Amino acid sequence: MTAIAIRVENLSKRYRIGALQQRHDTLRDALVSTFQRLTFQRSTFNAPTSQRSDELWALRDVSFEVKRGEVVGIIGRNGAGKSTLLKILSRITEPTSGRAEIHGRVGSLLEVGTGFHPELTGRENIYLNGAILGMRRTEIERKFDEIVAFAEIERFLDTPVKRYSSGMYVRLAFAVAAHLEPEILLVDEVLAVGDAQFQKKCLGKMGDVAKEGRTVLFASHNMVAVQTLCQRVFWLDLGQMKAQGEVSPTVTAYLRSGLAENEATERIWPQIESAPGNDTVRLRRIAVMPVGGRPGDVITMQTPVHIEVEYWNLSPTVHLHTELYFYNDQGILAFKASTGYAPDPALHVQPPAGLFRSTCYVPDNLLNSGAYRVDVHFVRDNAMATYRHSEPINFEVVDDHERKFAWYGKEPGVLNPRLAWQTEYLDNGLAGNVCRTPVEVTDNR
């Protein structure tokens, strides 16, 4: 058997904007109509022709190979072409040009709404999907209980799936896709739906599928999950393969590309005359950066951060303090930092007029993931607000930390400090009951 599970050559998909697409109502309709092609068939199409204004290339000239047993993440912004690629590979839609070879039985979990026939019951859909995968009835029966238990839908087995909630639907769809022994599993954003418990189960199951040597393609916006599960990453951008490679550097490059557009990590006013401020203080520069890095570099929850504020103190008789207000994306004030809390010895004496730089150090493992806005205020003589700058800097804290057995979504809370802990074993405390193994002493620091 070949070592290649998927080979894609110059794959392109053109959509006509506004034109009604030929749609298959359900995955079953699509699969039944292309049933013979499921095991493997080559298809060659015409090369893309010139671009028209009512056309959109959802995929353009994408080529790659995936080896058997590889777990590959597909990342990219909204509309990058991730779902289109998975739909082509699962034969739900056809490419406009190019070629996709699939070596092996494909199980897919794409968006909610595909995958099942709405009129059929949960039970019937399990059998139908198994049959489409080429499994015998006895093989499906062997897996049946496991699927039902995983999906937690015992009571609704004989209900048509159109009556399912989206959560139940996705649970069953994932259970079917992962348990019916596909050799290649295509998963699209399943983590967007379902609760934390279910996310955990899915990721655990995907890990198991990968360990069994099966191939997984996983399209996701969840960088924690991608970093945890995948061995390689494809980065799609506007339908093209922007990069493919090792997970960590590719994810970092992707995240960095997103920062440039939305953020103001540095503001500079080189001319004192036109700089914002008043008769006491004028701002020259505010900037946020990872320690040792530059403005615009990626900041993760594990990155210590510097905020630099450069200002001209125009009045030699005034003591100025710099204050920073950190707001999260809900507008909640996370905390305030002030040079007044940690007076700089140089500022104890009468400060000269001139240019100053105050640098605030925000330790690693303090900020939660998400967008932050930092307002800069100046306070004179430790009491009087003298200037509040109205153009904040903002930056994004990314959560890309690999987790073994944990919640993969955003951590709760305004902040997410890693505090020191100690757990001690005191005594068995069970007065004659079963004595458990002592708890390990842990310290997060």
C-beta of residue 237 within 8 angstroms of C-beta of residue 76:
yes
In the region spanning residues 37 to 66, those forming contacts with ligand ATP, defined by CB under 6 A, are 56, 58
Rounded to the nearest whole angstrom, what is the least distance from the CB of residue 54 to Mg ion in the complex?
22
Strands (E), 189-275: 215-219, 232-237, 240-245, 266-268
317: exposed, middle or buried (Cβ count in 10 Å: 0-12, 13-18, 19+)? exposed
CA 252 from centre of chain: 12
Compare residues 83 and 328 and give the one whose CB is closer to Mg ion: 83
One-letter amino acid at 51 equals Q
Q: Which does 46 bind (CB under 5 to 8 A by kind): ligand ATP, Mg ion, none?
A: none
- Check binding of 222 to Mg ion (CB under 5 A): no
In the region spanning residues 205 to 264, those forming contacts with ligand ATP, defined by CB under 6 A, are none
Compare residues 54 and 146 and give the one whose CB is closer to ligand ATP: 54
Rounded to the nearest whole angstrom, what is the least distance from the CB of residue 188 to Mg ion in the complex?
6
Which residues are within 8 A (CB) of 45 and not within 5 positions of it... i.e. 6 or more apart?
A: 94, 95, 96, 97, 98, 99
Rounded to the nearest whole angstrom, what is the least distance from the CB of residue 306 to ligand ATP in the complex?
33
Number of residues that bind ligand ATP (CB under 6 A): 12
Distance CA 213, CA 3 (A): 11
C-beta of residue 226 within 8 angstroms of C-beta of residue 398:
no
3-class SS of residue 196:
helix
Distance CA 24, CA 45 (A): 20
Report the DSSP pairing between strands 215-219 and 184-188. Answer: parallel
Compare residues 82 and 282 and give the one whose CB is closer to Mg ion: 82
- Check binding of 122 to ligand ATP (CB under 6 A): no
Which of 48, 73, 81, 104 contacts ligand ATP by CB under 6 A?
81
C-beta of residue 334 within 8 angstroms of C-beta of residue 328:
yes
- Check binding of 78 to ligand ATP (CB under 6 A): yes
Q: Which does 45 bind (CB under 5 to 8 A by kind): ligand ATP, Mg ion, none?
A: none
Which of 30, 71, 80, 225 contacts ligand ATP by CB under 6 A?
80
What is the chain's length? 445
Residue 338 token pair? 């002030």
- Check binding of 339 to ligand ATP (CB under 6 A): no
Candidate ranges 76-84, 267-275, 402-410, 428-436; the one touching ligand ATP (CB under 6 A): 76-84
In Å, how far are 75, 222, 225, 236, 398 from 251, measured between CA atoms? Answer: 8, 11, 12, 11, 11
Compare residues 83 and 97 and give the one whose CB is closer to Mg ion: 83
Residue 52 token pair? 């028209």
Candidate ranges 73-81, 223-231, 344-352, 418-426; the one touching ligand ATP (CB under 6 A): 73-81
Residue 280 token pair? 């006491």
Compare residues 57 and 269 and give the one whose CB is closer to ligand ATP: 57
Which of 83, 97, 199, 368 contacts Mg ion by CB under 5 A?
83
Candidate ranges 75-83, 163-171, 257-265, 428-436; the one touching Mg ion (CB under 5 A): 75-83
Compare residues 83 and 280 and give the one whose CB is closer to Mg ion: 83
Compare residues 21 and 138 and give the one whose CB is closer to ligand ATP: 21
- Check binding of 22 to ligand ATP (CB under 6 A): no
Q: What is the 3-state secondary structure (H, E, C) of 76-92?
A: CCCCCCHHHHHHHHCCC
Rounded to the nearest whole angstrom, what is the least distance from the CB of residue 80 to Mg ion in the complex?
8
Chain positions contacting ligand ATP, by CB under 6 A: 15, 21, 56, 58, 76, 78-84
